Structure 1
Amino acid sequence: MKQILLALLLLGNMATVSAQSERYIAAMTKQTSDLDSAGTFTPEALQQKGNTFERIADAEKNQWLPYYYAAYTQIMQTFILKDKSQVDPLADKASANLDKAEALSPKNSEIACLRSLVATARLSVDPMTRGAKFGPEAGAQLAAAKSFNPENPRVYLLEGQALLFTPEQWGGSKTKAKETLELALSKFAAFKPESDIAPKWGEAYARQLLQNASK
């Protein structure tokens, strides 16, 4: 009798876990499905997305992706806001979420890519005074991302972006940017996300940057 009760209890626990997992996947699928759409790239829409991802993260504390996507939306906001005084607070929030993501998934190339973007965002506030600190930090995070996964196309996208927008006297190069962005697109063509909710952003942006680098 005890064995039967134990078996029923285990089955009940498994069913609960399965239901929780299904709810998590459904919530994440809904939030990531339109993440790269033009309508999402407004400060208001990104903030709403970020808040939702943080609520999912609070409910699923053993999953790194909600923290990652919350950070992603916060970083993207920094690049479209006109008020530069809002950049550092958003970068702080993104960094805190990435710390939580990294605690769950160490040596993660995707997380390192976002850390590079956090440094780039901070640099953008005042390139002349912040470049010496945050430029190398952005580069170091990309180098780490590449060492964790050299097949991650977002590494080469961000490298190409940096080469394209950095002045030549500081190491930028349209020619090198073009080569790197072409490599990024070849990596995107071969890249297979680990799941339907895994990071897959950037290919359309890489094509846009390549057009600019080819002019």
Structure 2
Amino acid sequence: MKQFLFLLLTASVAMSARAQSSQYQDAMTKQVALLDDGASYNPQTLQDISNVFERIAATEKTEWLPYYYAAFAQVMTAFVQEDKSKIDPLADRAEANINKADSLKKNSDEIACIKSLVASARIMVDPPSRGAQYGPESGMMIQKAKQLNPENPRVYLLEGQALYFTPEAYGGDKAKARETLQVALQKFAAFKPASNIEPHWGEAQAKQLLNGEAK
């Protein structure tokens, strides 16, 4: 009888775990699909998406991806935010979330990419006074990501993006940016994410920069 009860309990736990895993995958798939849609890139929609990822993270405390995507959505909100007074609070939330992701997944090139973006977002508040502080920090995170995984296309996207938008007097170079972005597209062509919820963003942005469409 005890053995039967033990087997019953084990089966119940396994079924519960599978159901929870399915709910997690479904929730993540839905939100990541929204981030894949260019129409989502406005402050309100991105903020809504980040809020959902934070709720998922609060439930799935051992999963790094919800924190990662919450941070990504928040830093993207900062980039499309016209009110500069709102950028630092968004960057603060993104930094807190990506640090939580980092605590769950050490030495991740994808996490280093988000940390680079957070530093870049902070520059936007006041480029003349903040560039000297956050520019090197952003660049350091890009180099860390490249050392961890030189095949990650997002590394070259961020490197090319930095060269594209940085004034020439401070090291920017649009010709080098184009070369680096071409490398990014080559890496994107060869890149295969482990699943549909693993990081895979950036190819559209690389194409926009190469075509001179990015603002």
Q: Could you state the TM-score of these two structures normalised by the residue count of structure 2? A: 0.96
**1:4 alignment counterpart:** 4
Q: Tell me how far 1:149 sits from its aligned partner.
A: 1.2
**2:143 alignment counterpart:** 143
Distance 2:196 2:37 in 1: 16
Q: Percent identity, please.
A: 57
Q: Deviations over 1:134-187 (max 9, x none)?
A: 000000011111111111100000000001111112111111111100000000
Amino acid at match of 2:69: Y
Q: Could you state the TM-score of these two structures normalised by the residue count of structure 1? A: 0.96
**2:123 alignment counterpart:** 123
Does residue 50 in structure 1 map to residue 81 in structure 2?
A: no
**1:35 alignment counterpart:** 35
Distance 2:43 2:15 in 1: 39
Q: Tell me how far 1:212 sits from its aligned partner.
A: 2.1
RMSD: 1.1
Aligned residues between the structures:
213
Distance 1:82 1:183 in 2: 31
Structure 2 residue runs of 5 or longer lacking an equivalent are none
User: Which one is further off, 35-44 or 63-72?
Assistant: 35-44
Q: Tell me how far 1:4 sits from its aligned partner.
A: 2.1
Distance 1:181 1:39 in 2: 23
**1:190 alignment counterpart:** 190
Q: Deviations over 1:27-46 (max 9, x none)?
A: 00111112132321111101
Distance 1:83 1:70 in 2: 20
Distance 2:144 2:93 in 1: 21
Which portions of structure 1, spanning 4 or more consecutive aligned residues, are displaced by more than 4 angstroms?
none
Distance 2:191 2:38 in 1: 23
**2:90 alignment counterpart:** 90
Does residue 100 in structure 1 map to residue 100 in structure 2?
A: yes
